[in-house]
Structure 1
Amino acid sequence: MVHPQEVDVIVAGGGPAGCVMAGRLAYADPNLKVMLIEGGANNRDDPWVYRPGIYVRNMQRDGINEKATFYTDSMESSYMRGRKSIVPCANILGGGSSINFQMYTRASVSDWDDFKMEGWTGQDLMPLMKRLENYQKPTNNDTHGYDGPIAISNGGQINPLAQDFLRASHAIGIPFSDDIQDCTTSHGAEIWAKYINRETGRRSDAATAYVHSVMDVQNNLYLRTNARVSRVIFEGNKAVGVAYVPSRNRANNGQVQETIVRARKCVVLSSGTLGTPQILERSGVGSGDLLRQLDIKVVSDLPGVGEQYQDHYTTLSIFRVSNESSTTDAFLRGDPAAQKELFTEWETSPEKARLSSNSIDAGFKIRPTEEELKEMGPEFKQLWDTYFKDKPDKPVMFGSIVNGAYADHALLPPGKYITMFQYLEYPASRGKIHIKSTNPYVEPFFDSGFMNNKADFAPIRWSYKKTREVARRMDAFRGELTSHHPHFHPASPAACRDIDIQTAKQMMPDGLTVGIHMGTWHRPSEPYDASKVHDDIKYTKEDDAAIDDWIADHVETTWHSLGTCAMKPREQGGVVDKRLNVYGTENLKCVDLSICPDNLGTNTYSSALLVGEKGADLLCEELGIKVRTPHAPVPHAPAPRGVAATQVR
């Protein structure tokens, strides 16, 4: 394909929202020339992307697999006992949808209502939620769509550990539901859906659904990968194009080699919560004081650019399970026989293969009881009263089970494990990101703000206790991997019990013998009887302090960055208006999760797609065209092996 020097619309950033924008616009009008510029590589027919079960590899920082850019706190944080947080940001076409955990969740109706912006209520957005979905699960509600480009299913096989988890969750008061992603349920457990096509076993990423499918049938969508947009080109305050650079620094003598592409109608920034504010600031849009310090001409003085960074937080705890359990540990450990078995299974029957799953088959959303609230402390109680109490559709925490140890197996003793994740969905903490130079290769100042509001400790502490109680009540439970739990005093009743003969004798019913085999408990006669676990563990103030120290030492991102270019009134620190136009500019929009003025309680892939769909509708309306549905053929069969992606180079 010939690289045009001028197009109608430029979309800067190929994450989920950017893919939706580019694909919807190009498909709506074959005469409209659209260019999508992405900093990472093309994801097309990349087996490390489309095989769901190997997503863990994409999170590694090994110098070979570079599917993410890593943002590290600029300063050590006293809130995390001197640690610096690291926030990986996808660096590949499709963005997070190409490398994420593939967990399907959706934000609550009140989350969107909290934006307090005309056209953005949950009711306003429901038709677009349906439009993007190809929902492949049975359900009893009408909130899902069935003709859209994004496939959602249970993915591959459901591990029996998921049913064990659901039963144990019910035992501690978390009811089972066939669908807690109806945008209103906030307390319940379910078989967790995944962004996986049940007909092909493949990951359902945004680039395949919205970009490749259009490029296969039309020639008006131009894709430029491995190119980073450095700034927007303005004439006065009108955006007329962008300058981009190679993603890898090939500058000579310190000079940045830019390429200019012009846009006749609109420039759309969709480089994510961490990327979009940097482009704006390098372009002259941001805090006037900062821009003048860097000798950047001020196009629009918007102090809100780069501020109010938000994320979701996670901790994880690991438990031992029975030898009879089916887990991914041998595969993740690198056992040749296990890896050969699973890869062969994928080749012969991908739609049913274990690699057609993310091994996260069940999870829950939960809200605390009045009694639990009393134990969570005054800081969270105040947040509860002002933010959660009158919004019963908001879950405070998510939890999920992984059929294996999410850890470095080289450091683990042999055995079989499950991982319990605890996810804080609405942190009160906030951070910021700002450029330090006009050079796009210079790392920005980044303060994630993790845990800088004390109210965020209580719900994570509470959720750790809840997932621990669920694990103890599972039939497969065989003890706790103490290296991945808080360091309680050994004499405390809350102290974790790892695998050893004495512990086994204490935790098993009286009169039964226990043997040890391959690092897990083996019961010759009958399985561990979880029904005998009735009482919850009691925690002292010292135990709670140990949990809080563990949180500070181990809490990390869930890759759900939001909020650095908020959609709210300009006088309140807003950056974009209800039509996603950047204040003080013309022909410039931001369309990604940076526009969120408040948090969204969900794995944010669904929200990024939704923002993209809304942005596409708004821009199509302004251009006098209409979104066409169905969007494009959804691929139902694997592309021929060895076929290279066609792209501008």
Structure 2
Amino acid sequence: MHPEEVDVIVCGGGPAGSVVAGRLAYADPTLKVMLIEGGANNRDDPWVYRPGIYVRNMQNDGVNDKATFYTDTQQSSHLRGRRSIVPCANILGGGSSINFQMYTRASASDWDDFKTEGWTAKDLVPLMKRLENYQKPANNDTHGYDGPIAISNGGQIQPVAQDFLRASHAIGIPYSDDIQDLNTAHGAEIWAKYINRHTGRRSDAATAYVHSVMDVQDNLYLRCNARVNRVLFDANNKAVGVAYVPSRNRTSGGKVHETIVKARKMVVLSSGTLGTPQILERSGVGNAELLSQLGIKVVSDLPGVGEEYQDHYTTLSLYRVSNDTQTTDDFLRGVKEAQQEIFQEWETSPEKARLSSNSIDAGFKIRPTEEELKEMGPEFNELWNRYFKDKPDKPVMFGSIVGGAYADHSLLPPGKYITMFQYLEYPASRGKIHIKSANPYVEPFYDSGFLNNKADFAPIRWSYKKTREVARRMDCFRGELTSHHPHFHPNSPAACHDIDLKTAKELLPNSLTVGIHMGTWHKPGDAYDPKKVHDDIVYTKEDDEAIDNWVADHVETTWHSLGTCAMKPREQGGVVDKRLSVYGTENLKCVDLSICPDNLGTNTYSSALLVGEKGADLIAEELGLKIRVPHAPVPHAPIPTGKPATQQLR
């Protein structure tokens, strides 16, 4: 039973919303807080807490109900006629319950670029430390060790991680023991993960901030499988409650069945970059012209709502590796013996099991050299001079290695693989999202804007070349899976080469039947030594065009949406002020990544948590509360035994 009136309503149980709800409820046991989440409860869900099965949660196959998939309303000429698809988490904990669990942090200048009082990196470092339970050695003072969010290397590190670091160093990317220190923008490291090394479990926001509080207090009310339709205002534009509906469409005769909950003190929107602007518009906050066309009463005319959508872009390329390389391929392709063995490991010793890793064990941040900039074209060079040149802490691209093929294994030839991810951290392209109806079940107009600024092609093309050079120099390298690379002319020196399956009986570790060395085929039986690879591949103009076409055909979201309710002056298209209050309203705040006025070079879970911590502080201050931080991490929910080891991926 939920009360019909509470003090604070938090709309959305993603990372930021979980932080706000949990921190406020824990700060004052007499404060009634209600958290409304569109997805299911994540508590004790083995498909959530076992880190190594995250790939299943990313599938759009009709079985997965942990994500909502937004598709471009129109075909994009920038994507050669494709429609991009952007999944958003549909589960308590948001992306933290289903993401890749990669721990990175934004650069100091990213926060300083917000140009907002109270939001500089110096202001935010104490909150970064407050949320972290950092379980690695550190040589700087930016990490925290007593917070609720565990960060570690996970249960295992695959040997290909060290191979990757050595090969990266060979092309001029230095090793670092911490490139998440807010300042390093060119270096490679063993990549940390949101995994608790003591339990092997994923460290999600709902477990850390919501379940832990509900275990010890009774003032936090949780409503899952409910979608907030709109905010309720009084005659003075003060938020006084919300109306929510079942997440699944249960309309009858065209009517939407709403449930009303009143809020005595505050309504907080935390439904994400794609959800929050839709709630605002259905509530009468947004572009007055659009709202009037839809018959929605205008509460506050804010044309910036739903605009300036941003993301990070990724491409991935697959490489063959030797048969003795440790990968997750047999597990992912459904080999029953491999799955049973790996699930049994978890049951026996989860903190050491292979399932207590995401198999993304190493990565880098990189910036181009002066020579490389000369080849990246005028559009990107203009962006470089304006945005990157004088900010040496900003990486242009991320790269990471996955010990296995991140692909549909039913379509892959036999063998073992590594996947190279390339991530564009600060795209110049922008998109938008707007409602098409006051009915919450009607799909919105959505334009991801992917690659609609030409400046974004050059850095992705450059990073593909860099990760390819790293792969060629790895000891385990045995060729490119050509179906997952650009279509170069066969006579080009840049042409990709796969192994010859007719003559290669096995991908031997040291004596390849067929191999590649500096673009030249070896004779059968020759040993392949990638350490002898000294020369980078030379690409022609036609080769660059092939890469750009491949990028347009394959670039995807990294699930890092932000920016549609920007924190900046109202006259500049802003939606919220420095205290996250929505312009033209009272007692209404937005606390999620939609408030970012500029991009953040990071996997955004860390930033969503940080925005949540900042929002919790601001709201607590206005309510006359003080955030309580235990001397030890907030107690977590009991660790269940999980489902039987024989339960397999499907």
Same structural fold, with TM-score higher than 0.5 when normalized by the shorter chain: yes
Paired residue type of 1:572 = Q
- TM-superposed CA distance for 1:529, in Å, is 1.0
Query: What secondary structure does 2:423 align onto?
Result: strand
Q: 1:642 to 1:317 in 2, by over 3 A?
A: closer
| 2:34–2:220 CA contact under 8 A, matched in 1 | yes
Q: CA deviation at 1:530?
A: 1.1
1:7-406 residue pairs with structure 2 within 5 A?
7-235=6-234, 236-406=236-406
SS state at 2:52 partner: helix
Report the Cα offset of residue 443 of structure 1. Answer: 0.3
Write out per-residue CA displacement over residues 242-301 of structure 1, whole angstroms, 9 at most, x where no aligned residue: 000000011111110000000000000000000000000000000000000001100000
Q: Hey, what does 1:494 align to over in structure 2? A: 494
TM-score by length of 2: 0.95
Give the aligned residue type for 2:366. Answer: I
- Paired residues of 2:512 and 2:524 also in contact (CA < 8 A): no
Judge conservation of contact 1:43–1:94 (CA < 8 Å) in 2.
Answer: yes
Aligned to 1:189, the other structure's residue is in SS state strand
Distance 2:450 2:503 in 1: 36
- 1:323/1:522 contact within 8 Å kept: no
Q: Distance in 2 between matches of 1:572 and 1:514?
A: 60
Hey, what's the Cα distance between the residues in 2 that align with 1:522 and 1:129? 52
Shift of 1:63: 2.0
Instruction: Name the CA shift for 1:216/1:512 in 2 (closer, same or farther; >3 Å).
Output: closer
Are the structure 2 counterparts of residues 482 and 319 from structure 1 closer, same or farther at C-alpha, using a change threshold of 3 Å?
same
3-state SS, counterpart of residue 233 of structure 2 = strand
1:511 and 1:239 map into 2 onto residues whose CA distance is: 70
Matched residue, 2:607: 607
Change over 3 Å in CA distance of 1:538–1:525 after alignment to 2: closer
Q: Deviations over 1:587-619 (max 9, x none)?
A: 000000000000000000000000000000000
CA distance in 2, matches of 1:35, 1:503: 64
CA distance in 2, matches of 1:36, 1:559: 23
Task: Note the C-alpha offset of 1:630.
Answer: 2.3
Change (3 A) 1:515 1:580: closer
Could you report, residue by residue, the CA deviation over 1:331-366 in whole angstroms, capped at 9, with x for unpaired residues? 000000000000000000100000000000000000
Kept in 2, the 8 Å contact 1:200–1:636? The answer is no
Give identity over the alignment, percent: 85
Q: Are the counterparts in 2 of residues 24 and 631 from structure 1 also a CA contact under 8 Å?
A: no
Paired residue secondary structure (1:464):
helix
Structure 1: give runs of 5+ residues left out of the alignment. 644-649
Return the offset for 1:61: 1.4
Q: Is the 8 A contact 2:511 2:527 kept in 1?
A: no
Q: How many residues are matched? A: 636
Tell me the amino acid that sits aligned with residue 298 of structure 2: V
Cα distance in 1 for partners of 2:555, 2:430 equals 15
Distance 2:631 2:407 in 1: 39
Point out the more displaced range, 482-491 or 56-65: 56-65
C-alpha deviation, 1:552, in angstroms: 0.1
Q: Which amino acid aligns with 2:407?
A: A
Bigger shift: residues 181-190 or 494-503: 494-503
- The answer as to whether partners of 2:563 and 2:597 remain within 8 angstroms in 1 is yes
What's the TM-score once normalised by structure 1's chain length? 0.95
Q: Distance in 1 between matches of 2:626 and 2:409?
A: 51
Matched, 1:551 2:551: yes
Contiguous gaps of at least 5 residues in structure 2: 644-650
Change (3 A) 1:288 1:610: same
What CA deviation, in whole Å up to 9, does each residue of 1:430-463 have, x standing for no partner? 0000000000000000000000000000000000
Residue identity in the other structure for 1:200? T
Contact 1:213/1:632 (8 A) holds in 2: no
Q: What is the SS of the residue equivalent to 1:543?
A: helix
Matched residue, 1:647: none
Contact 2:479/2:515 (CA < 8 Å) preserved in 1?
A: no
Go from structure 1 to structure 2 and tell me whether the alpha carbon gap of 1:350 and 1:292 turns closer, same or farther (over 3 Å shift): same
- Structure 2 counterpart of 1:53, one-letter code: G
The amino acid of 1:438's aligned partner reads A
Specify the alignment match of 2:647 in structure 1: none
Partner SS, residue 436 of structure 1: coil
Q: CA deviation at 1:535?
A: 0.2
| Aligned-partner SS, 1:466 | helix
Displacement of 1:394: 0.1
> What is the DSSP-based 3-state SS (H/G/I as helix, E as strand, rest coil) of the residue aligned with 1:8?
strand
Distance 1:526 1:93, change over 3 A: farther
The answer (yes or no) to whether the contact 1:214–1:632 under 8 Å persists in 2 is: no
Aligned counterparts of 2:639 and 2:2: Cα–Cα separation in 1: 25
The Cα of 1:65 is off from its aligned counterpart by 1.8
What is the deviation of 1:417?
0.1
In 2, Cα distance between equivalents of 1:637 and 1:259: 30
The offset of 1:514, in angstroms, is 4.8
Pairwise CA RMSD: 2.1
Tell me: CA distance 1:515–1:633, structure 2 relative to 1, closer, same or farther (3 Å): closer
